[in-house]
Chains A and B, each alone.
Chain A
């Protein structure tokens, strides 16, 4: 960012709004709720053609530096596209893939790193992050899956849960505990022997799996980072992943609310459109306000992350906290406006409800975010003049 404040701000806002517009048009042309319904209970759980087109557009390598074959865009552009993914209910591994790619590119220069970067660019078989395990922890960097040094490399033993798109992945970025207790981040080829993948049946049918590592042997060079560096990289990735989940939820909630507002204008009871009654009108306004707060928090967090500001993890936590506390409830309130018709399989509102609730669940527990936010407040040094 150089030049005068106004110019750089204009450029950024313009770039983001253009890319968001392009993404909206793309999904409007290539995706629909009818196609979403066709995927229900399918084996892939997502549309490989749609994902292939997204990769062709270069979005799979959006954040990768140009030297590595990427588009070298900022996190803000990714956020804008992911919000559109949410609006379209598009089942694509974009967010997880790009964030996993951000970890992968931190690997020391090697043939493996080159392969990882070209996989990020190519995208077709996505990268994915494997962090959560059977025992949930409020600090997600606190993992148990064991990585032991063996004669042929590292031996991974344990289970990862809630891994997005593992069934189709090229590489899994696995957070593991090394013998000395340090954190290690591994790039594990998904086709390694003794990996098994169990599809989970999620509320929104999204492609999320459990992955078991039964003494999986990984070459020594596949250790991307370890110790404090691995922790920093993972912390960064988790904040990015959280903000992207909230951005996607914003898109989902936005459309759900539009549907409810449109319905409130035409559905009549006692001779009046229901949107004329304050009980309904004020509910819809409150939901709009909840979305606007969420969008503002996503913007603030993505600005902080892009600018590598000190408060970026707190800013991401605020977005996540609000998403769990309020944004998740937006489709619930919208469904209520539809009344009985909203409870039917044919009506689309439950698709938005399912997606939003599932995305919120992937953020995990509110405790982690609450403690990060209030911890920062408690530490903050306020000016002495507080009357």
Chain B
């Protein structure tokens, strides 16, 4: 990376500011063994406090314009921000999705009232947001959604169901796509709106994952009221609003996850022994690590390039479309490899005697099954790449 961008004095001053902030404000109990919370309620409270702390220093959303609580950060400063945050492995940003996707959509399409009420409350974590896009019958084919919003004049009534909705159980608001014109072609009859999660008629039903934990929900709407002034953009123009938010390139975050997993794997291979030898000294395992390291490096370069070209408005190249596919498979393969390194200790779950790293290798082995399913299965991804990028004939 350093070969590509030269930072100016202002950039370095910004870096110093972020570092000073982290020195002063990164909670003392962070970066210790284990997590500083015991329940998911404690976790949410902890992360809310962290985001609010960031917001006090206007560091919640540095890329947002200054007038909406951001910094209007340059490309170089955004890079510095993510470098510094990941260097210190800071706590998760609880409203990450809202900051990266919903907020920019509100900035672009929302009324002044919407902006002045919602934007500051995203940044200080007063409101938690969820996103209502996917449906049980519309996953890869998102535009085929069937949740209806019936126009009642001064309000809409929403009926239907959304699925894979993270944080719905906590959320104050939902950024929702619903069908407002069932007769229009499927991309044209959709409207984006803000739905108040406290309204009557909403049922949030947690989906239990294979890990045994609940990570997301199915949400049912039964004639839920949405005032007309909560429509974002024009009625029936929701696809344009959503496409903009979906276009946000996530390769960058995916890459840092893969980098972290390679670190974890390396540490496991260093600390686990066989015949008294560190597993990392086994040439067969070294072959795997060399391969992972090379792919992670390539993903870093691809992610970097897509961030740079994205911010400069250059359309993404072919490397960006294959990045998600590569990333999901390599990330999954690395978690499989973690189990392999540990041998009989691999399947030990959290709380078990002898569990390594609190049972995280076993937990991530399960969780990483989702990597090649969520956001479009690897098979669908290959079809899409084959058809759109290589121009191969579509399967009938």
Contact = CB atoms under 8 A, between A and B. Distances in A.
Interface in B41-74: 74
Interface in A288-316: 288-289, 292-297, 299-300, 303-304, 306-307, 309, 315
Interface stretch (A3-11, A122-130, A328-336, A338-346): A3-11
A296 B302 contact: yes
Nearest to B387: A281
Nearest to A383: B89
Interface string B291-328: 10111011111100100100010000011001101100
Main secondary structure of the interface of A (DSSP, over half): helix
Nearest to A258: B390
B286 A370 contact: yes
B75 interface: yes
A382 B293 CA distance: 14
Q: How large is the interface on B (under 10, 10 to 19, 20 to 34, 35 or more residues)?
A: 35 or more
A377 B392 contact: no
B350 to A, nearest CB: 12
B332 to A, nearest CB: 15
Interface in A1-36: 1-6, 8-10, 12
Interface string A251-283: 000000000010011000000110110100110
Contacts of A384: 31
Interface string A351-387: 0000000000000001001110110111010111111
A5 B322 contact: no
B74 A5 contact: yes
B389 A288 contact: yes
A369 B283 CA distance: 12
A110 B8 CA distance: 41
Contacts, number: 182
B76 A5 contact: yes
A284 interface: yes
Nearest to A367: B283
Nearest to B76: A5
Interface stretch (A58-66, A159-167, A216-224, A318-326): A318-326
A57 interface: no
Interface stretch (B16-24, B213-221, B262-270): B262-270
Interface-central residue, A264, A304, A370, by most chain B CB under 10 Å: A370
A292 B318 contact: yes
A318 B292 CA distance: 10
A6 B386 CA distance: 33
Interface of B: 2-8, 11, 30-31, 35, 74-76, 87-89, 260, 262-264, 266-267, 270, 280, 283, 286-287, 289-291, 293-295, 297-302, 305, 308, 312, 318-319, 322-323, 325-326, 357-358, 360, 379, 382-383, 385-387, 389-396
Interface of A: 1-6, 8-10, 12, 261, 264-265, 272-273, 275-276, 278, 281-282, 284-286, 288-289, 292-297, 299-300, 303-304, 306-307, 309, 315, 318-319, 321-322, 325, 366, 369-371, 373-374, 376-378, 380, 382-387
13 contacts: A6-B74, A275-B390, A288-B390, A289-B385, A296-B302, A300-B300, A304-B3, A309-B2, A321-B294, A366-B290, A373-B289, A383-B89, A387-B357
